Each structure stands twice: as C-alpha cells, then as structure tokens.
C-alpha cells in the first residue's frame, strides 16, 4: 500500500490528479454541508413566519374584553367541567382547535401575565385539557420582554423533540394587553425532511465521486504503468552508461600507467644535480603536461611541456611530443635547443 502511494505521489500527473480529486471531494462536501444548514435555517424561518401569521390573525380576532371577563369569572380551584361548559370558553377554544387542525399544530393556548408573581398563568386551550389559571412554569424571557408586541421563542429541545413557538398580544377595548396567544409546532419532522434531502444529496455526491474514481483509477494505472516502463528504461540506460563509463575509466587509468611509464623517474633529476621538485597534477587522470630530461656527455637537456588540450587528447600529444624530443636528441643527434624545438 505504501509503495502504491509512493508511486502515485512520485508521479507528477497522478499527483496533480489526486490533488484535483481531493479538491473536488472537499468542495462537494462543503457545498452539501452548507446547503444542509442553509435549508435547515430556511425551514426554521418558514415555520416561524407561519406561526407568527397564525397567532397574529387569531389574537386580533379574540375579544380582549371577553377574555378578561372569562379569566375573572372563575377561581383557581374551579372544577374543570364548569369551565369546559362555559359558552365563551368553548367558543374561543373551538376556533383555536380549527386553526390547530388546519395547520397541524400543537394545542394553542392563551397566557395571562400576573404582576404579583411576575409570571404567567394559562387561560384558554384549544384541546379538551383544562389548564385554567395554572402557572406556566419557567416562562421564557421573550414572553415578558415582547409581551406588548409579540415575537418568537428560539427553538428549544424537550423530551418530545424540537419546538418552535410564536406569540402575539390579545388587547381589550382600552388597548391594554390582557393575554398573549401562543402557538407551538414540533420542528423535528421538518428537520427529518431536511435530513432526508441532505442524505439524498450526499448519496448523489458519493455516487458522482465513485464514478469519477472509477474513471480516474484506470487512467492513473495507465500513467503509472507508463511511468514504470520509463523508469525501467531509465534504469537500463543508467546501468549501460555506468558500464561504459567503467570501461572508459579503466582505459584511462591504464593510459595513465603508460603515460607514467613514459615520464622519467623523479630520481633522475637528483642524479643529474637538478635541485628542485616536481608538481604534476592531471585535470582528468591523464594530461597533456609532461616533463623530460636527457643527458649526453657533459650536456643535460630537460623540458617542462604543456601540450594543447587535456585528458586523453592531451595525453596522446604528450606521448608524441616526448617521443619527438627523444628522436631529436638520440637519433638526429641534435644539441642546439633551438634546433631540437
């Protein structure tokens, strides 16, 4: 596995292809997640708008004076049958029930603010359950803050799911707020709808990514196979070059032995009374530089020569020139240095 990853990352084409593929996955994931939360926010706002429209239209159609009188008629401990049989209670409750059924809401109810306790008590409900003047435990701050104008309650979680709420004031003939009408809707099913859409989009995206992968894998395999062929060819050529280079270097090293044998031994300078040293360093193993010494009787000839070129061509010239000096002095018996040159 690590070898395959190294091959993919080692090839420029597959590396670029992998980067593009990862970018496609990243961008697709980003847009799917973004669209999910955007759809969730839009669905939430849509339900809030729906609840606000319902409670607003219903609250303005409830007579605040009648509601105020109804709340003053009975005490906390009044039997629920007495309240349920009240015609005014039944009339308002029935109208609320119709709205609940038409809009698939949870039971609607009215709330009355109690200044003494700084809390709310229940008034009229849309269902058969009577909650008359029972305390509304832990009312949200939005009810107190926006009781005069109406508003929404941020989504909250309960053991029954996620809930959205909206409320609007009920006013009497004097324009005083005598109660608020609240409507709730369970948001869980709408979240489920958004989740279903999200998972469908996710499955489509995964399908596209898999199809793209099925298209890219054969192409990547083809590129890697071509790269492997090229790598083997390059390795073969490298081995061939190394082999030829070894042969050439072996020949050059052998040529060095020949060139070294051509040069006079360093002791011959001392034997002939020449006080000094020899520094002979070839640039490319063998060189066109050479030194030469020859004695004939009382005459001593020596030379330090630099032939044109270096390496093998220079070494060949050094052999020719050294041999020419030997021929001029030994065979042609020349003694004048000008003539020898």
Q: What does the pLDDT read at residue 196?
A: 80
Residue 16 has pLDDT above 60, yes or no: yes
Instruction: Please tell me the distance from the alpha carbon of residue 26 to that of residue 44, in angstroms, as a whole number.
Output: 27
Give residue 58's pLDDT band: very low, low, confident or very high (50, 70, 90): very high
Residue in the structure block whose two tokens are 């990862």: 22
- Residues 153, 141 contacting (CB under 8 angstroms): no
- Other C-beta atoms closer than 10 Å to the C-beta of 18 total 16
Give residue 189's pLDDT band: very low, low, confident or very high (50, 70, 90): confident
Residue 310 has pLDDT above 80, yes or no: no
The segment with the largest mean pLDDT, out of 49-53, 249-253, 291-295, is: 49-53
- Residues 179, 111 contacting (CB under 8 angstroms): yes
Q: What does the pLDDT read at residue 166?
A: 94
CA angle, 90 as apex, 84 and 91 as ends, to 5°? Answer: 170
Q: What does the pLDDT read at residue 63?
A: 93
Residue 56 has pLDDT above 80, yes or no: yes
Please state the φ and ψ torsions of residue 132, each to the nearest 5 degrees: -55, 120
Q: What does the pLDDT read at residue 7?
A: 60
- Residues 176, 154 contacting (CB under 8 angstroms): no
- Contacts of 134-142 with C-beta under 8 Å, sequence gap 24+, read 134/76, 136/111, 139/111, 140/165, 142/167
End-to-end CA, the chain:
73
Per-residue pLDDT, averaged over 164-190, amounts to 90
Q: What does the pLDDT read at residue 261?
A: 84
> Among 77-86, 145-154, 205-214, 252-261, which is the least confidently predicted range?
205-214
Q: What does the pLDDT read at residue 13?
A: 67
Give residue 5's pLDDT band: very low, low, confident or very high (50, 70, 90): low
What the block records as the tokens of 245 is 């280079």
Per-chain mean pLDDT for the chain: 85
Q: What does the pLDDT read at residue 98?
A: 93
Q: What does the pLDDT read at residue 9?
A: 57
Per-residue pLDDT, averaged over 314-323, amounts to 87
Q: What does the pLDDT read at residue 183?
A: 93
Residue 4 has pLDDT above 70, yes or no: no
Cα–Cα distances in angstroms (integers) from residue 37 to residues 41, 152, 155, 291, 340, in the given order: 6, 20, 15, 90, 101
Per-residue pLDDT, averaged over 84-110, amounts to 92
Q: What does the pLDDT read at residue 10?
A: 59
Q: What percent of the chain has pLDDT over 70?
A: 94
Q: What does the pLDDT read at residue 224?
A: 67
Give residue 217's pLDDT band: very low, low, confident or very high (50, 70, 90): confident
Per-residue pLDDT, averaged over 5-26, amounts to 69
Tell me the per-residue pLDDT of 105-146, one tens digit each, with 9 for 90 and over: 889 999 999 888 888 999 999 998 988 989 988 888 888 899
Q: What percent of the chain has pLDDT over 90?
A: 26
Cα–Cα distances in angstroms (integers) from residue 91 to residues 72, 95, 121, 181, 300, in the given order: 17, 6, 20, 15, 145
Q: Does the pTM exceed 0.75? A: no
Per-residue pLDDT, averaged over 148-160, amounts to 84
Q: What does the pLDDT read at residue 49?
A: 94
């Amino acid at each position: 596995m690590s070898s395959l990853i190294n091959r993919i990352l080692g090839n420029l084409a597959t590396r670029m292809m992998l980067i593009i593929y990862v970018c496609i996955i990243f961008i697709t994931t980003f847009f799917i997640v973004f669209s999910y939360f955007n759809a969730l926010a839009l669905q939430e706002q849509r339900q809030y708008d729906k609840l606000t429209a319902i409670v607003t239209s219903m609250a303005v159609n409830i007579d605040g004076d009648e509601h105020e009188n109804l709340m003053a008629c009975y005490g906390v401990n009044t039997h629920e049958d007495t309240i349920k049989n009240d015609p005014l209670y039944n009339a308002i409750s029935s109208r609320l029930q119709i709205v609940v059924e038409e809009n698939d809401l949870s039971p609607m109810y009215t709330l009355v603010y109690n200044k003494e306790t700084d809390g709310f008590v229940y008034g009229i409900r849309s269902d058969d359950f009577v909650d008359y003047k029972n305390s509304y435990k832990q009312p949200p701050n939005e009810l107190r803050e926006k009781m005069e104008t109406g508003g929404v309650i941020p989504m909250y979680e309960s053991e029954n799911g996620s809930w959205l709420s909206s409320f609007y004031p009920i006013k009497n003939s004097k324009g005083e707020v005598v109660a608020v009408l609240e409507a709730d809707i369970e948001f869980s099913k709408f979240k489920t709808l958004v989740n279903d859409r999200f998972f469908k989009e996710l499955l489509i995206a995964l399908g596209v990514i898999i199809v793209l992968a099925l298209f890219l894998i054969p192409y990547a395999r083809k590129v890697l196979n071509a790269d492997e062929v090229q790598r083997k060819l390059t390795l073969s050529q490298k081995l061939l070059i190394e082999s030829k280079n070894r042969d050439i270097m072996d020949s050059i090293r052998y040529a060095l032995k020949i060139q070294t044998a051509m040069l006079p031994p360093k002791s011959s300078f001392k034997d002939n009374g020449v006080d000094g040293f020899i520094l002979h360093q070839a640039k490319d193993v063998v060189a066109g530089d050479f030194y030469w010494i020859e004695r004939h009787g009382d005459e001593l000839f020596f030379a330090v020569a630099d032939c044109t070129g270096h390496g093998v061509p220079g070494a060949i010239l050094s052999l020719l020139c050294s041999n020419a000096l030997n021929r001029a002095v030994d065979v042609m018996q020349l003694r004048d240095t000008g003539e020898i040159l």
